[in-house]
Amino acid sequence: MIQRREFLGASGAMLALSLITPSAARSQPTGQPSPASSAKPPLLTLRETTIGQGSPKVIVPTTATHAAEVLKFVDKVAPSQDFHVLELRLDMLENALEASAMAALTHQVRARLGNKLLLLTFRTKDEGGKKAVSDEQYVQLYQQLLAEGTGDLLDIEMYRDRTKTDPLIALAHQRGFKVILSNHELKSTPAKEEIISRLREQQARGADILKLAAMPADAGDVLTLLTATWEMHQHYAQRPILTMSMGDLGVMTRMSGELTGSALTFAMVGEASASGQVALEDLSSVLGIVHQSMGS
């Protein structure tokens, strides 16, 4: 776990660096039209939470492998005021493909959360999750969760078979879920233009939140992601954005969203679900300092 003093000091350093990136983002590639700036920041309000306003809203994932452990974890963290969304990581569970059991679990979790939001995620092994599944298994699980379960948000991976996932997006909306279309680059960071292109594709396909995570090789990759996020937010976004650089190098992207336009971020309580996550208490402290210092 990052020590608080080191964490805060490193935060200030990266935020200072990230202030440089917007000026670089203003220059457009030769021959490309200059995009029009967004008239107002994209917002999404669910229950009592407005995503895209003020500090990034904090997501806490579950990492337990059994339903009883999940419920114990939810009972522990639900009273906290430091986070807004609980991510139920279904792929972490040993019986994750037992759809009826997963649907029943969503109701048990929902009953414990009050007005916090519930995000359902099956992260496949191809994108950093625990289990490899076929497109058919993936869609069938989600279809049954939408039919029998409950929740506020559903994470759908954008690079699963589109002929199956596009109807799934429509079904989620019919069932009252908002959709996060997600993409995880586990070995590299795409170029700025490619990051923006993928986020715009997610938006065009009907996502309610646009998500991209990438692994940096160096600090330059981190700044690339920050710049792409800022440019997407300023010029193209009609939906809230969630971006991050993974691993220790990318940790600062998890706290700079109020500057760059990334409207959500992840924190850990106990075990991390992905590399680079920061303890909830530390992240909440830094987000508060940034928000206060920016005068929002």
Q: Which amino acid is at 137?
A: Q
Task: Point out which residues pair with 131 in neighbouring strands.
Answer: 124
Sign of the torsion angle spanned by Cα atoms 101, 275, 257, 180: negative
The gap from C-alpha 234 to its chain's centroid, in whole angstroms, comes to 19
Query: Measured between alpha carbons, how far is 77 from 264 in angstroms, rounded to an integer?
Result: 18
Q: State the pairing for strand pair 178-185/153-157.
A: parallel
Q: Which amino acid is at 113?
A: L
Crossing angle (nearest 10°) for helices 219-235 and 192-204: 40
* Both structure tokens of 254: 């998890």
Q: Could you count the other beta carbons within 10 Å of the beta carbon of residue 291?
A: 14
Residue 109 — φ and ψ, nearest 5°? Answer: -70, -45
Contact 60, 268 (CB under 8 A): yes
DSSP H or E stretch at residue 278: strand 278-279
Q: Which residues are catalytic?
A: 184, 211
